[in-house]
Copies of this chain bind each other. A is one copy, B any other.
Amino acid sequence: MKVEIIAIGDELTSGRILNTTSSYAARQLFEAGYEIHAMHTIGDTPALIGEALKKAINEVDAVLVTGGLGSTDDDMTNEAVSKALNRPTLPNLEILSIVRAHLDEITSAHVGQLEKLAWLPEGAEVLNPKSRMAGYQLIHDEKPIFFLPGIPSQMKQLLSEHVLPRLATWHKDHYLTTYQRIFKIFSLPESEVNRRVGTLELGHAAHIGYYPVFPEVHLSLIIRDKRNRSAEKLFKSSCKAINTVLGDAIYGYDRDCMESVTGALLLRAGWRLAVAESCTGGLIAEKLTSIAGSSAYFLGGVVAYANELKTSFLDVPEDLLRETGAVSRETAEAMASGIRARTGADIGLSVTGIAGPSGGSPDKPVGTVHIGIATAEGTWATHFRFSGDRQQIREMTAQTGLDLVRKYLLQATGR
């Protein structure tokens, strides 16, 4: 079953807002077994909206439209649908009564402008009237067309609670199974990943894709087939072969991210981590704490952006800073052992470097980074020279720091 996704909004075609909803919807639909024929983004221009919609209905089995359903003057989707599909807009009484009960937060007056939300193209079936979220289904040429708000949180909720369940019962013939695994790879270039995996003979049914997602490489293995034993067997043997040629450059799978994988290893080992960050300015701590439950293994840390803080919070000797500089192997080691000692963590991780654009020198150019690790076994630091802009260097540094902790844990816990 083929689906097209149409996102609407001048904020998208002018590039002011990044379109995240189409990607999200594509992923959900793809994982549920649908094929995404195409995704389109167009402005709040009724004629273009109508044309794209009619073309999509012609080409595919279901259409998902997001955006332009709100009450402000630039929301034009309903008007466009009405014209293109020849369905006059009619007031939906349930929504109208909800809207009329809505009072302005400031003036307590009835907000007349919101009544626009109740006028929908003829035949519109509102997905969830009680939720106060715009969103409806039309059936046109015997195909389901879904209209969702462009606001990501609302779109996501309506997609999973209403669109996917309705689609699943619409046709039965899309029940192909998708066997899919994403291999998350760090510290190997894409060309090398391709070279190693290219030598494997996985057979024609196994579809391999390579995706550089800075700073990582993602490799996807997809097998689409009716659910059966031979497809399952091919999937398992392909996974095994890929794991063998890429080894521990694969840090995780599917929805894993570096911070969730490193966190899970810390949790299993029963060890607690603390960090001392200079050039990453809190990025490592932010990543670690973005995972719910991270307080079980992450104590916190110090963002020692100024040198005074390296001394006062991490006991890095002033002499050392003067002699070797803040960006040095010695300072990284002192920061790592300092944060470990001060917090009582099992592992102390430190980073110090030059993220740029200024601050580099011939001796220590932008991208020079030292990453330190302190454990009960000892303290050491590794020197890196990353390239890219400020954000890329910070991202590479944070990711590499977490990867070093991951690799240490794998080795120390004998996995």
Contacts and interface: CB of A to CB of B under 8 A. Distances in A.
A401 B32 CA distance: 40
A264 interface: no
Contact of A26 (B14, B52, B292, B312): B14
A84 to B, nearest CB: 15
B305 A303 contact: no
A15 interface: yes
Interface string A194-226: 110010000000001111111000101000000
Interface residues of A, number: 104
A221 to B, nearest CB: 12
B11 A26 contact: no
Interface string A284-314: 1110111011110011111111101100110
A388 interface: yes
Contact of A342 (B212, B220, B300, B312): B312
A41 B22 contact: yes
B304 A300 contact: yes
Contacts of A390: 290, 292
Interface stretch (A85-93, A103-111, A235-243, A374-382): A103-111
Interface stretch (A161-169, A185-193, A316-324): A185-193
A365 interface: no
A305 B298 CA distance: 7
A13 B41 contact: no
A78 to B, nearest CB: 17
A44 B208 CA distance: 12
Interface in A306-362: 306, 308-309, 312-313, 342-344, 356-358
Nearest to A107: B195
Contact of A313 (B23, B286, B313): B313
B192 A105 contact: yes
11 contacts: A9-B211, A13-B39, A14-B36, A19-B22, A19-B23, A38-B41, A41-B41, A72-B190, A282-B303, A285-B286, A300-B306
- List 7 tightest A-B contacts by C-beta distance, closest first: A15-B27, A281-B289, A282-B285, A282-B282, A15-B26, A300-B305, A39-B41
Interface of A: 9-20, 22-30, 36-44, 48, 52, 71-74, 104-106, 111, 113-114, 151-153, 182, 189-192, 194-195, 198, 208-214, 218, 220, 274-275, 277, 280-286, 288-290, 292-295, 298-306, 308-309, 312-313, 342-344, 356-358, 388-392, 394
Given A15-B26, A18-B18, 8 more contacts: A14-B36, A15-B25, A19-B19, A105-B191, A281-B289, A292-B390, A295-B305, A313-B342
